[in-house]
Amino acid sequence: MDTLPPPSPTFDPTIDPAPTPPIDRELDAFATAPGPVAALGARLIGTMNAVVAGKAEVIDVSVATLLAGGHLLIEDIPGVGKTLLAQVMARAAGGSFHRIQGTSDLLPGDITGSMVPSGRLDVDGMRFRPGPVFANVVVFDELNRATPRTQSALLELAEEATVTVDGVSHRLPEPFMLVATQNPIDMAGTYGLGEGALDRFHAVVTPGRASADAELEVLTGRRGRSMLDAVEPVVTLDELVAARAAVARVQVSDVIAAYVVELLDATRRDPRIRVGASTRGGVAIVALARAFAALGGRTYVTPHDVVRASVPALAHRVAGATAPVAVGRDLAADCVAKVPVPSL
Amino acid sequence: MSVRLRPLGVAPGALAFVAAWIVAGLIARLTGTPVVLALMAALTVAVATDAFAGASTLRRFRVATITSPPTATAGADASMRVDLHTGTRAAGACRRDGRLRLTDAATGTPIGSEILAADARHTGTVITVRFERPGVVRALAARIDLPGPFGLVWWARTEVLEIPPIHVAPPPGESTVDQNRMTTSLDGAAPSRHGTHLGDVDGVRPWRDGDPVGAIHWTSSLRAGDLIVHDREATTDERWDVDLDALIAQADDRAQAAARLRRSLDDGLRRGHDIRVTHRGASHRVQSDEEAAKWAGIVADDPETSRPAVPFWRRPLRLTTAETTTNVPPTARWATALAAWFSLTMLIGALAGSTLFIAAVTVGLAVGAAVSLRLGDHRPRALQIAIAGVIVVALGFITADARDVTGLLDALRGPMPNLLVLLVVLHGFEVVDRRTLRVHQAITFVATAYAAGLRIDDALAWWIAGWATALVASLVLTVQRPRLAPPTTGAVGRAGLWTAGAVTATLALLSIVPIPDGPARLGLPSLSTNDTPIDTPGALAAPGGTAVPAESSGDRGRIGPTVGYPGFTDTLDTTIRGDLGDEVVMRVRAPAPAFWRGQTFSDFDGRRWTVSPDPGRRVDGPVIDVDPALGDLSAEDVPTEEFIQTYFVETDLPNVVFAAARPSRVVIDGDLWTRPDGALRSDRTLTPGSVYTVVSERPLVTAAALREQGDLAEFFAPFRGTVGAEPLEDFLAVPASTTPRTIELARQLRQATTYDTILAYERWLGENTQYELDAPIPPDGADAVDDFLFESQLGYCEQIASTLAVMLRTQGVPARLATGYIPGERDRVSGVWKVRASDAHSWVEVWFPRTGWQAFDPTAAVPLAGETPTATVGGDLIGAATSSLSSHVRELTALAAGAVAVWALGAVLVRRRTRRRRGRWGILQDRFAMLPVRADGSLDGPAPGPSDGVPVLTNPQRAAHLDPPEVAMAVAATLDRAAFDPGFVDDDETYRATHAAVATLERGRR
């Protein structure tokens, strides 16, 4: 049974059916069986793996976040393929792709777009020129270099999937996904994300350094950025939207929901964690677990999906604003290890 | 990581059991009851078991992990999570009351404690801790206190665990005292704030003016709300001077000033500064924590803290330890009341108390238990006064009643047990906490030992078993928390093993304890319920007090019910047999079997033995020293033993006082006629309830000692016919009717030594005559011995003994006939010989000059005194157990079969219930989860609980470690589908396939 609502109202046809494109006969398959989602996911993951070397788990989480309709935070040192990961996902998904570089003088208007004069100002008036955020996949590099003002504007619109300028709302394209990156070590001149801001990301991944073999492949050009141009879209946007709808329909039993609640409780009871995970964290776990279940070709969530989803969904929430995500990953894994896994 | 296991002490009130043990020892000494020794041994073993089991549990009980916060503030609460590893074997340990204490390993300051929860194994215990002083804590000492299963002996296991450092920040706004600081760098140069080398980080402290920004510890600052900086070891020599006199003079609140001083001194000590305080003009160096505490105490004007620490050997000895709670669980209280009921009923039964008394005690105990439970630890003064008043009044009555108490048994039987019963009942009202509960339990032990010392009936073992069960239950229930999960089968099995071990240890201990040789000399029991003296002093009297009919009708079996046995009359006609019933005549408490001799006869006319007419000397009781009669004395170099017997009369008996040969002292109510033939007669008949004690001087005769005395005829020949040898002639007189063939037979069978002669006679009788209670009466005028030997060849003890006596006399060996009782049947629990009317007997006594009169009897197997095997309490108990087992083989087999059947039925029911509860897929899941997985090379067997330090595995994770992986993965997927897919259809084919796959995996692991 569905015990939790789908992650975002945008993807719920009962609330806002308008942006959902008419489902043709091929897309019907998504509505009835999990197989197409798994196949779609396999295509995406395969494509991404062909480019990004040795990051299978990170790619799995990224694709799951995409299918869960969430936003992704990539935190790691420079040069480990954060941006490449986002770019190849955008290309493979076949949507539009914009990239924003975070700086301290970036203003909210710079990303949302603004009203500009159109032709003759007195006749045509002002028209809205969309900012870089109007794309299916938006990569925001070095999010913590932007000012808190810009950060919160970005996160607000990412949550609402709507940009409001001069009192007029503009819907972001469907599907929409924000991928933000940040660098945990170079802290001078940055504005660390507050706990509230972090909470809006469904998942966080830390790719880490590639293995020696993977590095060899990157250096010889068999993988890596040089292959990016060769990536062709493997899914259509319509398929992606249908897949998201299918993921939202994945069944979550009460036992699983209770398990997630236990996990959240474990983070709240751990003395090392200042503030435990929020309910939104639980929602994120369930959404990611649904996506993992669908990627596994199932219409129901198993505890294994929850375990896989928990660490990326909880790491940034338990680490707090001051500690690196890597610490949070350990804490989250510790909490997961302390909760008994439900079974039959 | 260091671990230390040490005994912590005993629980409050447990020392009462030591006192009870000592009192029981006194009772054993006074009464000589083996079962009291058994009780003492059982208590010893129970306490030892408690200690060993507690230590053994704690050895398997360890702190797995401590999850601690990275920072904390001194004086403020923080929380820590402690996960315990109990293993699967110690799961039951948590069911006991226990305590976990955390201390800072470096300073030994306690930081928090928590009562161990039973579910600690599953979720870990979150403990609220509080650090008193700032600094860095790198190691914690976790101490687990746990009692043994009976809750008497506590153990502590201390384990020092390294933890990630906890930075304890000082509380905000903490002030210190003024110090006069002098800083010198190592090379003696002038102090400089800048450019000095920074030492290693050594904790945190509040920000002070001039601290560099880089030193700020942001995490702590965020927590504390103030700026906190890393504290660094100083590489310069810094000297602080604190003027205590000024501090004391200026202080408004000396306690506060002391706290500030303490903080300052700690601060300086931690950094290794040279700290001095000026007190009354003199400067003192402060080098240790204790010294800092001392100076703070002086400032606070607190004599306790300013006194130097007392070394442990001068501290008062404290044996008891505090418990986690003093609360008495109702189940334990009622079990204690039941134990008290058992012991008091036993005691009242020993006193022959009325049913009304027992009913009153029952009601008193129940009301006491209910009232004490209801009151809790609130004791109204009125109740205390009322109880004290009742005790005083009762004491007054008892004192008034006990004025004429003379014998110990009077006191032991009369006022003391009544007082004890009253005290136990009243103490029941006062049981408000665990200490008083244990005292109450210990009192029931005393009452039980008391009753066991007095009681001589057969049901003692059952009463004691009932009491012991109730007591053990109450002990265990006191420290067990019943609402927690029921014990596992493993825990039950281990408890069974411990019990079996404890029983074995008790028996082993008892098997080296000899059976006590009787009551202590300080008060031998005697009691008479009959005040009526008999008609003719010194004569025999039938139970009614009248003279015994001298003659019988000459008909066998017709002596009449008054005496029961002709051996207890003046004349023993061998042609008359008593009308012996089967009822218990008396019970004799004695450490070894012996003939309980009543009379001796020396005058025989061929058919009839007659007692000597000399009534002897009358001696006043109750303590009577009996002079040896002729032939009683043994040579000085023959070892003797003191053999104490207490006779408990159960039915009406004549005034014959029974005694094992040779009585030296008799304790009896009333006077005694000590006869020259060695027999003893009381001045009154013995009625049921009468008790008397005989101390016998028993030569330890062995066969060798008898044989080496050679042929007695040769020894006595020189004395015959001399002046003054008339008494000897009495024992050698051969009746005129003795036939020549009798003499001829005696001569033919004669051996080199008299002992061998007697054995030869006995052998001959055994081969040529038959024991027959219905032997025919010899014809009138015929010699009874001749008739028995050569005509009827049928007879019983009188015939056999008379024949032996006559045959020996013909050969010049002095012999006489003795009558009395054979030892009877021994009750191995109470150590009492149960003598029945049918145990009446006669035997022959032969005068061995070196060892005295020696009893011989071919029918009753009473060993020689020197050859009696030494019995032990344990051996007796084992014998009692094996004999009762072997006599009930069929019932026990049926019981065992029934138990097996019940167990099998239970197993089937449990299996069916599991199947119904878990469903067939649930059982498959359980089997899958039981497959041993080797993850990280550490896990073998079912995945343990999360607090055991090993992550719990999901089905696919488990499958990844199984072989073959693809089969395991498929099983995991199917099981997850069955569990979590709402659309799962349970079809038999899938089930069969999965079942087969699980079976494959199980085979693969074996």
Quote the minimal CA–CA distance from B947 to chain A in Å. Answer: 6
Which of A124-128, A333-337, B16-20, B178-182 is predicted least confidently? Answer: B178-182
Q: What is the pLDDT of residue B585?
A: 86
The CA distance from B126 to B115, in Å, is 11
**Which positions in chain A touch B942 (Cβ < 8 Å)?**
none
Q: Which residue of B has its CA nearest to A331?
A: B67
The CA distance from B6 to A301, in Å, is 51
Q: Which residue of A has its CA nearest to B70?
A: A272
Query: Counting beta carbons within 10 angstroms of the beta carbon of residue B819, is it exposed (0 to 12), middle (13 to 18) or buried (19 or more)?
Result: buried
Using 50, 70 and 90 to split pLDDT, how confident is the model at B1006? low
Task: Pick the residue of B84, B976, B984 with the most A CBs within 10 A to test the interface with A by mutation.
Answer: B976
Whether omega before B7 lies within 30 degrees of 0, making that bond cis, reads no
Who among A301, A322, A339 is closest to B218 (CB)? A322
Contact A302 B122 (CB under 8 A): no
Using 50, 70 and 90 to split pLDDT, how confident is the model at B238? confident
User: Which residue is listed with tokens 């976790």?
Assistant: B142
The CA distance from B945 to B84, in Å, is 10
pLDDT tens by residue, A8-51 = 333 333 333 334 344 444 555 565 566 788 888 888 898 888 88
A340: contact with B, CB 8 A cutoff: yes
User: Which residue is listed with tokens 């003994």?
Assistant: B801
| CA-only gyration radius of chain A, Å | 20
Contact A272 B921 (CB under 8 A): no
User: Which residue is listed with tokens 């290794």?
Assistant: B272
Q: Within chain A, what is the greatest distance between any pair of CA atoms? A: 71
Residue B195 has pLDDT above 50, yes or no: no
Are B164 and B121 in contact, with CB atoms under 8 Å apart?
A: no
The CA distance from B596 to A217, in Å, is 109
Tokens describing residue B364: 């008193």
A3: contact with B, CB 8 A cutoff: no
Residue B530 has pLDDT above 60, yes or no: yes
Residue B189 has pLDDT above 50, yes or no: no
Cα end-to-end distance, chain B, whole Å:
36
User: Which residue is listed with tokens 């009153």?
Assistant: B360
- Which of B797, B421, B341 lies closest to B609 in space, CA to CA? B797
The CA distance from B842 to B835, in Å, is 15
Tokens describing residue B169: 């920040």
**Which positions in chain A touch B166 (Cβ < 8 Å)?**
none
**Which positions in chain A touch B979 (Cβ < 8 Å)?**
255, 302, 342-344
Tokens describing residue B538: 């010194």
Are B100 and B143 in contact, with CB atoms under 8 Å apart?
A: yes
Are B459 and B346 in contact, with CB atoms under 8 Å apart?
A: no
ipTM associated with this complex: 0.81
Who among B78, B975, B982 is closest to A1 (CB)? B982
The CA distance from A49 to A234, in Å, is 13
- Which of B565, B560, B552 lies closest to B658 in space, CA to CA? B565
Q: Which residue of B has its CA nearest to A307?
A: B954
**Which positions in chain A touch B995 (Cβ < 8 Å)?**
none
Whether omega before A130 lies within 30 degrees of 0, making that bond cis, reads no
Q: What is the pLDDT of residue A7?
A: 40
Contact A340 B975 (CB under 8 A): no
**Which positions in chain B touch A300 (Cβ < 8 Å)?**
977, 980-983
The CA distance from A12 to A5, in Å, is 9
Q: Which residue of A has its CA nearest to B945?
A: A340
Are B565 and B549 in contact, with CB atoms under 8 Å apart?
A: no
Are B421 and B344 in contact, with CB atoms under 8 Å apart?
A: yes
pLDDT tens by residue, B767-810 = 888 887 777 777 777 888 888 888 888 888 888 888 889 999 98
- The better pLDDT of the pair A143, B186 is held by A143
Segment holding A25, helix H or strand E: helix A25-32
Contact A299 B979 (CB under 8 A): no
Residues B825-848 as b or e (16 or more Cβ within 10 Å = b): ebbbbbbbbbbbbbbbbbbbbbbb
Q: Which residue of B has its CA nearest to A334?
A: B951
**Which positions in chain B touch A304 (Cβ < 8 Å)?**
954-957, 976
- List strand residue ranges (DSSP E) for A185-316, in order: 203-205
SS3 B59: helix
Q: Which residue of A has its CA nearest to B80?
A: A271
Quote the minimal CA–CA distance from B82 to chain A in Å. Answer: 10
Helices (H), B353-414: 355-375, 381-401, 408-413
pLDDT over 90, % of chain B: 8
SS3 B750: coil
Quote the minimal CA–CA distance from A268 to chain B in Å. Answer: 12
Residue B108 has pLDDT above 80, yes or no: no
The CA distance from B148 to B607, in Å, is 72
Alpha-carbon distances, residue B822 vs A168, B562, B644, B660, B884 (angstroms): 122, 20, 16, 10, 23
User: Which residue is listed with tokens 């003379």?
Assistant: B406
The CA distance from B680 to B686, in Å, is 13
Are B812 and B788 in contact, with CB atoms under 8 Å apart?
A: no
- What is the torsion angle, in degrees rounded to the nearest 10, for the CA atoms of residue A313, residue A316, residue A318 and residue A320? -160
Contact A341 B983 (CB under 8 A): no
Using 50, 70 and 90 to split pLDDT, how confident is the model at B411? low
Whether omega before B964 lies within 30 degrees of 0, making that bond cis, reads yes
Are B442 and B455 in contact, with CB atoms under 8 Å apart?
A: no
Whether omega before A175 lies within 30 degrees of 0, making that bond cis, reads yes
- The better pLDDT of the pair A78, B198 is held by A78
B81: contact with A, CB 8 A cutoff: yes
User: Which residue is listed with tokens 């045959």?
Assistant: B807
The CA distance from B928 to B955, in Å, is 8
**Which positions in chain A touch B982 (Cβ < 8 Å)?**
1, 251, 253, 300
Point out which residues pair with B3 in neighbouring strands.
Answer: B159
Quote the minimal CA–CA distance from B79 to chain A in Å. Answer: 6
- Which of B831, B838, B812 lies closest to B710 in space, CA to CA? B812
Q: What is the pLDDT of residue B166?
A: 85
Point out which residues pair with B242 in neighbouring strands.
Answer: B277
Quote the minimal CA–CA distance from A282 to chain B in Å. Answer: 18
Are B450 and B415 in contact, with CB atoms under 8 Å apart?
A: no
The CA distance from A48 to A188, in Å, is 33
User: Which residue is listed with tokens 């029945």?
Assistant: B836
Residue B894 has pLDDT above 90, yes or no: yes
Segment holding A186, helix H or strand E: none
Quote the minimal CA–CA distance from A339 to chain B in Å. Answer: 6
Contact B922 A344 (CB under 8 A): yes
**Which positions in chain B touch A322 (Cβ < 8 Å)?**
218-219, 222
The CA distance from B74 to A96, in Å, is 56
**Which positions in chain B touch A319 (Cβ < 8 Å)?**
none
What sign has the CA pseudo-torsion B486, B488, B489, B492?
negative
Task: Pick the residue of A302, A330, A334 with the most B CBs within 10 A to test the interface with B by mutation.
Answer: A302
The CA distance from B577 to B374, in Å, is 67
**What would the mean pLDDT of B989-998 be, rounded to a whole number?**
90
pLDDT tens by residue, B670-702 = 888 888 888 888 888 888 888 888 988 888 888
The CA distance from B194 to B211, in Å, is 10
Who among A255, A307, A337 is closest to B980 (CB)? A255
User: Which residue is listed with tokens 């000459």?
Assistant: B554
- The better pLDDT of the pair B370, A168 is held by B370
Which of A310-324, B17-31, B372-386, B842-856 is predicted least confidently? Answer: B372-386
- The better pLDDT of the pair B508, B97 is held by B508
Q: Are strands B815-821 and B596-601 parallel, antiparallel or unpaired?
A: antiparallel
Q: What is the pLDDT of residue B545?
A: 60
**Which positions in chain A touch B222 (Cβ < 8 Å)?**
322
User: Which residue is listed with tokens 């993977």?
Assistant: A214
Instruction: Report pTM.
Output: 0.67
Q: What is the pLDDT of residue B488?
A: 59
Contact A304 B78 (CB under 8 A): no
Backbone angles phi, psi at B156, to 5 degrees: -125, 135
**Which positions in chain B touch A340 (Cβ < 8 Å)?**
122, 945-946, 952
B617: contact with A, CB 8 A cutoff: no
DSSP one-letter code for B737: T
A249: contact with B, CB 8 A cutoff: no
Residue A314 has pLDDT above 50, yes or no: yes
Q: Which residue of A has its CA nearest to B944?
A: A340
Are B579 and B608 in contact, with CB atoms under 8 Å apart?
A: no
Q: Which residue of A has its CA nearest to B121?
A: A338
CB proximity under 8 Å: B 531-550 to A? none
Which of B49-53, B132-136, B412-416, B703-707 is predicted least confidently? Answer: B412-416
Sheet strands side by side (includes B825-827):
B623-625, B663-667, B691-699, B640-649, B584-589, B832-836, B825-827
